[in-house]
Structure 1
Amino acid sequence: MVAIVLMATTSGAPGWLAGLLGACITAPHLFGPFIAGSLDAARDGRTVIALACMAHGVTLGAAVLLYPMTWPIVPALLLIASGLVGPLLTGGISSRLAAIAGSDRTSQRRAQGWDVATYGIGGTIGPSLVAAVSAWASPAVAALILAGSTFVAAAVVRLLPFSGPVAPGSEIPRPGRTLMMMVSSGKLRRTLYMTVVIALSVAALPITAVASTGELRVEPAAAGVLTAAYGLGGLVGSAGVMIRPLRAEADLSMTCLAAAVGVVLLGAAFAGVFPLAVAAYALAGVLNSRFFAATLAARSEYAPAQARGQVFVWIGALKITAGSAGTALAGAIVAPAVHLPLVLAAALIAVAVAASILDRRLGRGIARI
């Protein structure tokens, strides 16, 4: 998305068009679950993911090459096609963890820590590569390099352990039925809404980092230090899960870690001085990574085998959509009050935590009856 936005802006396009083209990559993730059934039904899920990698690369590359020569609607449609397969490259790959790590819960949770780390590493290396190549050549070249790298990813995916279909195609639920199954299952329901709430909330951190430099009495460029602290904290948190996997039940861990994230967001909002703000952003990264690992464990352990791939993709797609919405909302409300996005985020998390506690107690009561 960074490469596409840079490519559009450096070509003289208005900001609204650059933002729209960037959104064409992320917004279609919401519809990814409607093609995710192929993961659970396929004879070899690796083939589905590898084909998705290549489709992503071809459509992204075509959009970049055609952008200077056609109406913007053409690259926009290609980017939408590229975004549609995006969930298969995130949640789809995460759904392979059981085949990679084996059936031992500790091994699986250690692998989930590594999975969380790959998101952080990719989110750091990707924009850095775009910035370096854009300075050396152009944003278009950077985007083409990223598109080409997906073909390398397709080849590497084929090296993952084989895992055959868990059920006949006739037993694989449709996307709508899978979503209803998630909503009706207490543990998966809590995984779904808490993932969405945390993604929506932490998305306010980069916006607040930029807006709060004046109050913290530092230069505007210091916002980069805050966001870097958050990113590094995320890597530290994922490393911690790899070294010492989460031991508690995933459902309970999500509630506890979500509450901790909410407290730290309040701390970041009212830090007052720059060193404390850096520490709060770093701690938010650590806790968010551990929360992410807990949601991966919940998806893996609570989803039925015949719909596991769809569950991973559904939650991953909604998480990305929530993150985009969180960034947009924070940008819209940060001007009148710098603290407002993080305060509202913390309040939303508090509501989600309370709902999860009540939800769990009601579920236990019904089970006793």
Structure 2
Amino acid sequence: MSGFGRYLGAALAARFASEGMGMAVVLLALERTGSAAYGAFVLTAWLAPHVLAAPLAGVLAARARRPRVFYPGTLAGFTAAVAALAVLLGRVPMPAVVAVAVLGGTCGPMVTGGLSSLVAGLVPAGAARDRAYGWDASTYNAAAVTAPAVVGLVAAVGSAGPAMAVLALSGALAAALAATLPYGHEDAGRDHPAHPVEGPPQRSRAGMGAGLAALWRVRELRAVTSATTLAFIGIGSLTTTSVLLAAELGSPRAGGVLMTAFALGALGGSLTLGRMTSVEPGRLVRWALAATGVALAGAAFAPSVAVTAVLFAAAGVCDGPVLTATLRIRSEHAPDAVRTQVFTLGAGLKLTAASAGAALVGIAADAPAWTLLTGIAGLQLAAALLHALVAARGPVPGSVTGPSAASATAPAGRRNPGGP
């Protein structure tokens, strides 16, 4: 199996474990304590560290003397936390459970943006790398479809404990596969001897603020980060809204059907529209966000669950290419010395925005569901407009982009001549 093939296996296994945690933690808490609120509190502790840990995770990854140890090690830490929660939740005092959840959550940025930052070192630049990011994006969507279904099935047949064990085993598989990946220019070249690829930059001394500065100063990064963060406030509230909408349509249990339709559509969109390398990624982000908003607006006024599910699937198809295009933009425009920071920060900001969206829809849960879904659609359209406005502006004064950005950010004597 090629290096990129092993990468996809590791990414899918890690993201499967991550995507299943939301349902598994709540089910396990309900089973052992009778309180879903307990599970929600633990899940908040699991998600909260993502944005705070993202800059540190990026810096540590860039400075790691032995990335072959660091990446599998963080995945192993993530896995250990999942396994510990499976044993401890509901059986030991809550502060200890929350502490474990916080520690596991600090490894979260490496499961998302941290892993995605490795693609540039595994696949040569050009159309092949663009397609690789399409496959990488599909691992998120595939995990979003399969993980909740597997957790629900295992919990229904047995209990939530074994369901958590399945997630831990998936995390362990991810760590094992990550240990086999080529790290560095020399190893990666052996996987693609005819097409040398850029390895990760030499150990970087860039501080934690360097990644955030790049997100602000590089126009393309600023545009896609601001737009997708705004959009994810809506996406984060979509699950709760789908349940409320299904209830209004007379089928309270159909909320899962709507979200499954959205996830399946997103998987299909990432594997088809997301692989359109002939389309400039910034333009793809704008049109995909706008189309997602239009489809969700239509779903808000659909007369039945069946029609709503079709429109949710259409919205998912439109949303699928957004992640692929986002990954391409980060790869092409992130300075080499802070590439991992850019990926982990971008993922952390989106997760935080999604958490905020979930909290907001909880506050507004008494409002008609169609108004909530209309608001989510409006956020997607606003995100498309925001991207267009930010992308049209020039770079922040004093900023640099492209290969020169890598040189400007890298410490003297440690330049990476490849550039993104």
> What is the TM-score of this pair, normalised by structure 2?
0.80
**1:258-277 correspondence to structure 2 within 5 Å:** 258-277=289-308
Deviation of 1:357 after TM superposition, in Å, equals: 2.3
What SS class does the counterpart of residue 369 from structure 2 fall into?
coil
C-alpha separation between the residues in 2 aligned to 1:230 and 1:69?
Answer: 36
**1:1-369 correspondence to structure 2 within 5 Å:** 1=21, 2-33=23-54, 34-103=56-125, 105-163=126-184, 166-169=200-203, 171-216=204-249, 218-241=250-273, 244-363=275-394
C-alpha separation between the residues in 2 aligned to 1:89 and 1:324?
Answer: 17
C-alpha separation between the residues in 1 aligned to 2:337 and 2:157?
Answer: 48
Contact 2:269 2:317 in 1 (8 A): yes
What SS class does the counterpart of residue 215 from structure 2 fall into?
helix
Moved more, 288-297 or 207-216: 207-216
Deviation of 1:366 after TM superposition, in Å, equals: 8.4
Deviation of 1:303 after TM superposition, in Å, equals: 0.4
Which 5+ residue runs of structure 2 have no aligned equivalent?
A: 1-20, 186-198, 399-420
Give deviations 1:5-30, integer Å, cap 9, x for gaps: 11111112433222101112111111
C-alpha separation between the residues in 1 aligned to 2:247 and 2:147?
Answer: 29
C-alpha change, 1:364 and 1:9, in structure 2 (3 Å) is closer
C-alpha change, 1:155 and 1:329, in structure 2 (3 Å) is same
C-alpha separation between the residues in 2 aligned to 1:297 and 1:365?
Answer: 21
Deviation of 1:157 after TM superposition, in Å, equals: 1.1
Contact 1:41 1:167 in 2 (8 A): no
C-alpha change, 1:228 and 1:69, in structure 2 (3 Å) is closer
Deviation of 1:204 after TM superposition, in Å, equals: 2.9
Contact 1:120 1:235 in 2 (8 A): yes
Deviation of 1:348 after TM superposition, in Å, equals: 2.8
What is the aligned residue count?
A: 363
What SS class does the counterpart of residue 307 from structure 2 fall into?
helix
Q: AA paired with 2:340? A: G
Deviation of 1:352 after TM superposition, in Å, equals: 3.0
C-alpha separation between the residues in 2 aligned to 1:67 and 1:338?
Answer: 33
Contact 1:233 1:285 in 2 (8 A): yes
C-alpha separation between the residues in 2 aligned to 1:209 and 1:69?
Answer: 33
Moved more, 188-197 or 247-256: 247-256
Give deviations 1:320-339, integer Å, cap 9, x for gaps: 12122222222332422212
What SS class does the counterpart of residue 330 from structure 1 fall into?
helix
Contact 1:230 1:285 in 2 (8 A): yes
C-alpha separation between the residues in 1 aligned to 2:97 and 2:84?
Answer: 7
C-alpha separation between the residues in 2 aligned to 1:215 and 1:135?
Answer: 26
Q: AA paired with 2:114? A: G
Contact 2:28 2:89 in 1 (8 A): no
Give deviations 1:253-280, integer Å, cap 9, x for gaps: 2122212222222112122333331221
Contact 1:40 1:307 in 2 (8 A): yes
Give deviations 1:42-70, integer Å, cap 9, x for gaps: 24434322001111112222233233442
C-alpha change, 1:270 and 1:23, in structure 2 (3 Å) is same
Q: CA RMSD in A?
A: 2.3
Contact 2:50 2:109 in 1 (8 A): yes
Contact 1:40 1:306 in 2 (8 A): yes
Q: After TM superposition, which residue ranges in structure 1, 4 or more long, deviate above 4 angstroms?
A: 164-168, 364-367
Contact 1:63 1:76 in 2 (8 A): no
C-alpha separation between the residues in 2 aligned to 1:326 and 1:254?
Answer: 20
> What is the TM-score of this pair, normalised by structure 1?
0.91
Give deviations 1:241-264, integer Å, cap 9, x for gaps: 46x433222222212221222222
Contact 1:32 1:88 in 2 (8 A): no
What SS class does the counterpart of residue 271 from structure 1 fall into?
coil
C-alpha separation between the residues in 2 aligned to 1:88 and 1:214?
Answer: 37
Moved more, 126-135 or 86-95: 126-135
Contact 1:114 1:239 in 2 (8 A): yes
